[in-house]
Amino acid sequence: MIPFNTELPMQIAITRQVSPAIANCELTYLDRVEIDYALACRQHEQYCQALAGLGCQVLSLPAQADLPDSVFVEDAALVLDETAILTRPGAASRRPEVDLIRPVLAEYRPLRPIQAPGTLEGGDILQVGRIIYVGLSGRSSPAGIAQLADLVTPYGYTVQAVPLTGCLHLKSAVSRAAPDTLLINPHWVDPARFAAFRLLDVDPAEPHAANALLLDRGVIYPSAFPLTLRRLEQSGIPVTIVDVSELQKAEGAVTCCSLVFAGPAL
Ligand code: CIR
């Protein structure tokens, strides 16, 4: 296994506090159940502490009372070393989130927007080095993906559209668990697409377990998936565990609550 790189500069993690309106979140594959807002806020705070504990400079943006899903900052942008792409979420209720993240990211990167009618959400984007996989989900359209390719190809990136089924975003189905390892639910996305990588299947009893947040100095992983956690540990991947049960009820996971990218720090 390739070791974690501890020589890199500090990573920046943009987060946003949980909206008091999170009960009105978008839901696609999950039934609506009651979300304990106070517990969601405590869990989010612990998630931010986990980011800081793994060496991130955490930038905490204020809660937005009128944007139920705005804690899921990942969906509004893709931050590369060279530029940041402002997305155009497929969920219309989430488009104002992009306007809020624009001035924040402008401090760090030149910005490029995805334009109507294309749609793109960050949860569909899995970057592995110079390859950017994008899920063909209900949220990210072929037109949005084509725009992304036009914007990032000049920087040497290759964009590959990936069909998926049964889940919200590409990173619901596959994410990075180590520099050379992808954690995958083979029922939601075709593993053959990722044959160049070491693949670790989720436990079949835990279909939602494929979302891990890989940082330069470790991995954040939800406590809800003990069987897949054991597979990670048996594969030599130590993780920092967080309980995000309330955010999972909003169809969120660990990658979606932050935008993580290389400094320099402000
Ligand atoms: C939504 O449906 O848009 C939100 N309720 C959940 C978004 C989760 N985002 C992500 O995994 N990147």
Question: What integer pLDDT is reported at residue 7 of this predicted model?
Answer: 63
What's the 195 CA to ligand 1 centre distance in angstroms? Answer: 27
**Mean predicted confidence (pLDDT) in 182-189:** 98
The parent domain of residue 234 ranges over 11-261
**Mean predicted confidence (pLDDT) in 231-238:** 97
Query: Tens digit of pLDDT for each residue in 91-140?
Result: 999 999 999 999 999 999 999 999 999 999 999 999 999 999 999 999 99
Q: Is 73 touching ligand 1 by the criterion CB < 6 Å?
A: no
Among this protein's residues, is 44 annotated catalytic?
A: no
Q: Is 250 touching ligand 1 by the criterion CB < 6 Å?
A: yes
Which residue's CA lies nearest to atom 2 of ligand 1?
Answer: 26
What's the 13 CA to ligand 1 centre distance in angstroms? Answer: 18
pTM above 0.85, yes or no: yes
Number of domains making up the chain: 1
Evaluate whether residue 2 is within a structural domain.
no
Whether the bond between 264 and the residue before it is cis, its omega within 30 degrees of 0, is: yes
Query: Tens digit of pLDDT for each residue in 34-83?
Result: 999 999 999 999 999 999 999 999 999 999 999 999 999 999 999 999 99
| CB 253 within 8 Å of CB 259 | no
Evaluate whether residue 1 is within a structural domain.
no
Which residue's CA lies nearest to atom 8 of ligand 1?
Answer: 252
154 Cβ neighbours under 8 A, 6+ residues apart = none
Mutate to test the pocket of ligand 1, among 70, 72, 137 (most ligand atoms within 8 A of CB): 72
Q: Is 72 touching ligand 1 by the criterion CB < 6 Å?
A: yes
Q: What is the CATH number of the domain that holds 203?
A: 3.75.10.10
Query: Which of 25, 44, 48, 169 is an active site residue?
Result: 169
Kindly tell me if the per-residue pLDDT of 2 is higher than 70: no
Three-point CA angle 58, 3, 7, nearest 5°: 50
Evaluate whether residue 104 is within a structural domain.
yes
From the CA of 171, give the closest atom in ligand 1.
11
Evaluate whether residue 266 is within a structural domain.
no
Question: What integer pLDDT is reported at residue 6 of this predicted model?
Answer: 56
From the CA of 74, give the closest atom in ligand 1.
12
Query: Which of 25, 56, 167, 256 is an active site residue?
Result: 256
Evaluate whether residue 3 is within a structural domain.
no
**Cα separation, 155 vs 160, whole angstroms:** 15
Kindly tell me if the per-residue pLDDT of 266 is higher than 60: no
Evaluate whether residue 101 is within a structural domain.
yes
Mutate to test the pocket of ligand 1, among 168, 188, 220 (most ligand atoms within 8 A of CB): 168
Among this protein's residues, is 169 annotated catalytic?
A: yes
Evaluate whether residue 141 is within a structural domain.
yes
Going by pLDDT thresholds of 50, 70 and 90, the confidence category of residue 265 is very low
Going by pLDDT thresholds of 50, 70 and 90, the confidence category of residue 9 is confident
Evaluate whether residue 4 is within a structural domain.
no
Question: What integer pLDDT is reported at residue 25 of this predicted model?
Answer: 98
The two tokens of residue 263 are 């400094």
